[in-house]
């Protein structure tokens, strides 16, 4: 698996996937305070996010480095997104670090998230409770 060293001066692309425009707005504001953030893209559905990722699969420079994923969404929920995401080319799935970002504190959701090798951690909302810089620097 290829790993990206986020401790260097690399600009970091973020993808937020959450059906709540308010949560996306708040999380974007929190993330934008970090150094080395070059782009923050927001999607309000798992399906839109998959279409976005499919559209950039040939453009490695556009790949998100980090994806924050809500799991409780109408239509395609976060777990359904992960099922489809894992079918994408290794070039993208090995590049992106995915964090589940959910208001759910249900251990069932956390345990289910651990079943996906592409998921780094289950974080509880709001994102302000977490050390974003530390997450971005994790290997």
Q: Is residue 98 part of a domain?
A: yes
Q: What is this structure's pTM? A: 0.88
Q: Is residue 102 part of a domain?
A: yes
Q: In what order do the strands lie in the sheet with 66-69?
A: 37-43, 12-17, 66-69, 97-102, 119-124
pLDDT tens-digit series, residues 105-131 = 777 777 888 889 999 988 888 787 777
Q: Is the pLDDT of residue 2 over 90?
A: no
How many domains are contained in the chain?
1
Distance CA 41, CA 49 (A): 10
Q: Is residue 131 part of a domain?
A: yes
CATH number of the domain at 46, please.
Answer: 3.40.50.2300
Q: Is residue 91 part of a domain?
A: yes
Q: Is residue 27 part of a domain?
A: yes
Q: Is residue 2 part of a domain?
A: no
Q: Is residue 5 part of a domain?
A: no
Q: Is residue 4 part of a domain?
A: no
**What residue numbers bound the domain in which 91 lies?**
12-137
pLDDT level of residue 86 (50, 70, 90 thresholds): very high
């Amino acid at each position: 698996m290829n790993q990206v060293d986020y401790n260097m001066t690399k600009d970091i692309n973020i993808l937020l996937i959450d059906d709540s425009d308010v949560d996306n707005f708040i999380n974007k504001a929190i993330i934008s305070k970090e150094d080395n953030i070059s782009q923050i893209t927001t999607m309000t559905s798992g399906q839109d996010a998959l279409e976005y990722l499919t559209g950039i699969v040939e453009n490695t420079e556009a790949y998100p480095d980090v994806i924050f994923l809500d799991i409780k969404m109408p239509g395609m929920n976060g777990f359904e997104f992960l099922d489809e995401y894992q079918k994408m080319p290794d070039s993208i799935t090995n590049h992106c670090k995915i964090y589940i970002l959910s208001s759910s504190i249900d251990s069932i959701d956390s345990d289910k998230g651990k079943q996906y090798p592409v998921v780094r951690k289950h974080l509880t909302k709001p994102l302000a409770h977490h050390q974003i810089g530390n997450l971005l620097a994790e290997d």
